[in-house]
Amino acid sequence: MSEHQGYMKALKCRECGREYPLTATHVCEFDFGPLEVAYDYDRIKKSLTKAAIQSRPKTMWRYRELLPVANDPTVGLQVGFTPLVKADRLARKLGIRELWIKNDTVNYPTLSFKDRVVSVALSRSRELGFDTVACASTGNLANSVAAQAASAGLKSYVFIPSDLEQGKILNSLIYGARVIGIKGHYDEVNRLCAEIAGKFGWAFVNVNMRPYYAEGSKSMAYEIAEQSGWRIPRHTVVPMASGSLLTKIQKGYQEFVKLGLVPETKYSVHGAQATGCSPISVAQKAGLDFFKPVKPNTIAKSLAIGTPADGFYALRVMRDTQAAADDVTDDEIRDAIKLLAETEGIFAETAGGVTVGVAKKLIASGKIPRDDSAVLCVTGNGLKTLDAVDGYVGKPREIKPSLREFEALLANEEKVNA
Ligand SMILES: *Cc1c(COP(=O)(O)O)cnc(C)c1O
Ligand SMILES: [Zn+2]
């Protein structure tokens, strides 16, 4: 049995605990609870030691026993192990003792954290015999499914809201994916995809493959813990769309504690949203354990999910880790993108602006104390959302190819700065 399932035991309902076979299915038949992968941790503990991990290639697959594939992965073997950057200049600006950026703007191959989840989803889809993969996406997921399906020789359909950033649309088309723009917001795209998934025999990475797909996010937590010297950071700030990444960061930390890879310490996993789509942070701030759906209106399109599938569980993680949530306006997002770029040389997309902007607020309000240490999850690359900052970063000054003109420009600049 175990040789067909790897280190997985079953799919398990998060609500009632009923177990299901490890197929392409995602909801419990009895209570419609979401299914999650359950593992054989006793077996994992024997094989996944620090020494074993450190002997393996620097990719997310060095934690392979904790990722839901039965056999060795076949898609996205180079994904992950992005830099954890000590951000002293940004720390000074935000007024905190120690700050780190988990820099998924340079994830392979499509420059966002979604490469992690897609690598897992497509590897598992292949194991289950699918030849066509699909997704409902706010942009980055579509890019990653398109690219990784291309490299794996799988056929792909990606469904996106038709008003996405040009960069995100092009970044799906270039790989030859069938890109379907839906005239509606993400929640409508998602609803349509649930219908399509039931009708066609495709692997929808975030519908029927969601239990496997979502587990890929845990790799970010494992890397943060290993790169922090095998410990869990006191504070982690995570952007929230469906809320899945935030819940999986906590699950990743919990698993490392359970396996004895890190000491058990107190930690908080804080959530970040854009004010224009903030169902989870609004509920958190009001002390509620459920959210009210909203209609998104923000430049942070990658996070624009008005009915977040894991919102309820994200709220629970924040409550259990005594964490906070907050949200930032479009102007604050742009300012934070610039601040991160000017202090650390990292150009993040709008979701990164949301994370940095919210971290700034949580530090200012004392919810992240100034003498603590924090890790900010920066999840996507600014080159894909140029529209968001176009017109907000000034323009190059133009001169003729003449030394005299350049000297005049410099002299003028000194006058202005004096
Ligand atoms: C998808 C995405 C997230 C978070 O997604 P969840 O649905 O909350 O897991 C964060 N940042 C970026 C850039 C994304 O594309
Ligand atoms: Zn159930």
The full set of domains in the chain, from first to last, is: 84-110+214-389 (3.40.50.1100)
Please report which residue ranges of 155-185 form alpha helices under DSSP H: 166-173
Strands (E), 89-136: 98-103, 132-136
Mean of all residue pLDDT scores within the chain: 96
Q: For residue 151, is pLDDT > 90? A: yes
pLDDT, position 90? 98
* Spacing of C-alpha 301 from chain mean position: 13
Beta bridge partners of 285: none
Longest dimension (CA), the chain: 78
Cα of 28 vs centre of ligand 2, distance in Å, is: 5
Give the span between the Cα atoms of 38 and 180, in whole angstroms: 34
Cα of 191 vs centre of ligand 2, distance in Å, is: 21
Task: Tell me what the mean pLDDT of segment 326-334 comes to.
Answer: 98
Evaluate: CB of 302 within 6 angstroms of ligand 1: yes
Evaluate: CB of 274 within 6 angstroms of ligand 1: no
Q: Is 268 helix (H, G, I), strand (E, B) or coil?
A: strand
Distance in Å from the first CA to the final CA of the chain: 75
Whether residue 325 contacts residue 270, with contact meaning beta carbons closer than 8 Å, is answered with: yes
Evaluate: CB of 112 within 6 angstroms of ligand 1: yes
pLDDT, position 2? 43
Q: For residue 3, is pLDDT > 60? A: no
pLDDT tens-digit series, residues 268-294 = 999 999 999 999 999 999 999 999 999
Whether residue 151 contacts residue 126, with contact meaning beta carbons closer than 8 Å, is answered with: no
Give the span between the Cα atoms of 252 and 244, in whole angstroms: 12
Reference 205, options 222, 220, 190; nearest CA is: 190
Give the span between the Cα atoms of 177 and 377, in whole angstroms: 28
Q: For residue 417, is pLDDT > 80? A: no
Evaluate: CB of 304 within 6 angstroms of ligand 1: no
pLDDT, position 140? 97
Reference 128, options 190, 201, 76, 65; nearest CA is: 201
Give the span between the Cα atoms of 398 and 105, in whole angstroms: 31
Percent of the residues in the chain that have a pLDDT greater than 90, as a whole number: 96
Task: Tell me what the mean pLDDT of segment 22-39 comes to.
Answer: 97
Cα of 246 vs centre of ligand 1, distance in Å, is: 9
Q: For residue 418, is pLDDT > 90? A: no
Give the span between the Cα atoms of 395 and 146, in whole angstroms: 34
Is the whole model's pTM more than 0.95, yes or no? yes
Task: Tell me what the mean pLDDT of segment 143-155 comes to.
Answer: 98
Cα of 407 vs centre of ligand 1, distance in Å, is: 47
Residue 401: Cβ within 10 Å count: 6
Structure tokens at 402: 């003449």
Task: Tell me what the mean pLDDT of segment 346-353 comes to.
Answer: 98
Evaluate: CB of 355 within 6 angstroms of ligand 1: no
Evaluate: CB of 140 within 6 angstroms of ligand 1: yes
pLDDT, position 398? 94
pLDDT, position 198? 84
pLDDT tens-digit series, residues 103-132 = 999 999 999 999 999 999 999 999 999 999
Evaluate: CB of 114 within 6 angstroms of ligand 1: yes
pLDDT tens-digit series, residues 61-98 = 999 999 999 999 999 999 999 999 999 999 999 999 99
Element (H, E) at 375: strand 373-378
Residue 403, CA atoms < 13 Å, CB-side half-sphere: 0
pLDDT tens-digit series, residues 40-64 = 999 999 999 999 999 999 999 999 9
Tell me the DSSP string of 314-367: HHHHHHHTT--EEEE-HHHHHHHHHHHHHHH---B-HHHHHHHHHHHHHHHTTS
Residue 282: Cβ within 10 Å count: 17
Cα of 4 vs centre of ligand 2, distance in Å, is: 24
The set of residues, in sequence order, having a beta carbon less than 8 Å from that of 35 and lying 6+ positions away, is 11, 12, 13, 14, 20, 25, 26, 27, 28, 211
pLDDT band at residue 1 under the 50/70/90 scheme:
very low
